[in-house]
């Protein structure tokens, strides 16, 4: 496995190894790798001949400097895991490598209205940061297929639009959310949960499942969401948002749609958890009227 820390190294390695002749899979990460990341890498291996993983804690995605400073860095352990996973190369740039002129003097990729809704409203500038770094990484790595996790569903929607609108010749593959046995979505941030919070945390996923059952039972979207918010509050959560949206634009919907999704962000103390669950209209008739 080759560890590449600057752009020239990456380009020289590609040229020297004949990498461009292969079908390349790419998994961008911010490190602190866990079972969910390993599933993304395995997905990339199935769809390609050789896999590159990037590790970069992107400062453009963080509104709060303390949150950026607190994000776990586990480079040595990450590299050991990637070596065992059979990754061909790891791109490990610093901020100075990717943003040599600094953050203030930087051409950014605007994520558009999609990037301003829900998670984008809660974290202003976050999706512009995502779109900017993914654009740079796609330009540098030039993958045939890139794999992302369904847990970050709005990020997936942003990247789909990025690929479409900027004409990247990249196939996107989406890996289903990986969960702990109790349903909690696996996340690098779970390590910040106290023992008591960890016992409470699976309620986020349970709230989505309860809401999906409510919708399937004929309750309105408005009543279902109100009930789910109230229930999460009773479990000790502060809800940032809980909504039912269409998968493509992430606009809030008031009736079931063909490609719909429940999305939630909720806090337990200082720890913010996100999750989502696909919930589609069971019949074409329901696209037109409220049940």
Catalytic residues: 37
- Percent of residues in the chain assigned helix, strand, coil, to nearest 5: 45, 20, 35
Give the residue among 209, 250, 249, 211 at the shortest CA–CA distance from 229: 211
First to last CA, the chain: 55
Q: Are strands 238-246 and 260-268 parallel, antiparallel or unpaired?
A: antiparallel
Give the residue among 210, 186, 202 at the shortest CA–CA distance from 236: 202
**Number of other residues whose CB lies within 10 A of the CB of residue 248:** 11
Token pair listed for 253? 């919907």
Q: Are strands 171-175 and 145-149 parallel, antiparallel or unpaired?
A: parallel
SS3 252: strand
H/E element, 243? strand 238-246
Phi-psi region of 43 (alpha: psi -120 to 50; beta: other; left: phi over 0): alpha
């Amino acid at each position: 496995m080759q560890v590449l820390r600057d752009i020239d190294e990456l380009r020289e390695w590609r040229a020297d190894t004949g990498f461009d002749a292969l079908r390349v899979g790419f998994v961008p990460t911010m490190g602190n790798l866990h079972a969910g990341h390993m599933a993304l890498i395995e997905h990339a291996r199935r769809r390609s001949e050789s896999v590159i993983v990037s590790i970069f804690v992107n400062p453009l995605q963080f509104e709060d400097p303390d949150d950026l400073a607190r994000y776990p860095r586990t480079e040595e352990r990450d590299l050991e895991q990637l070596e065992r996973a059979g990754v061909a190369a790891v791109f490990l740039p610093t901020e100075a490598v990717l943003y040599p002129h600094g953050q203030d003097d930087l051409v950014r990729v605007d994520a558009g209205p999609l990037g301003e809704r829900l998670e984008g409203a809660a974290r202003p500038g976050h999706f512009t940061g995502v779109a900017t770094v993914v654009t740079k990484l796609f330009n540098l790595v030039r993958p045939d297929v890139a794999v992302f996790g369904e847990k970050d569903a709005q990020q997936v929607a942003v990247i789909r639009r990025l690929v479409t609108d900027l004409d990247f010749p990249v196939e996107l593959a989406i890996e289903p959310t990986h969960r702990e046995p109790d349903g909690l979505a696996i996340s690098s941030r779970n390590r910040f949960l106290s023992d008591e919070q960890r016992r409470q945390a699976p309620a986020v996923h349970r709230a989505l499942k309860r809401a999906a059952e409510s919708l399937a039972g004929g309750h309105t979207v408005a009543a279902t969401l109100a009930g789910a918010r109230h229930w999460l509050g009773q479990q000790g959560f502060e809800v940032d948002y809980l909504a039912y949206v269409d998968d493509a634009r992430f606009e809030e919907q008031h009736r079931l749609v063909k490609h719909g999704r429940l999305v939630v962000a909720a806090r337990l103390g200082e720890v913010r958890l996100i999750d989502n669950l696909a919930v589609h209209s069971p019949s074409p008739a329901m696209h037109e009227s409220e049940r």
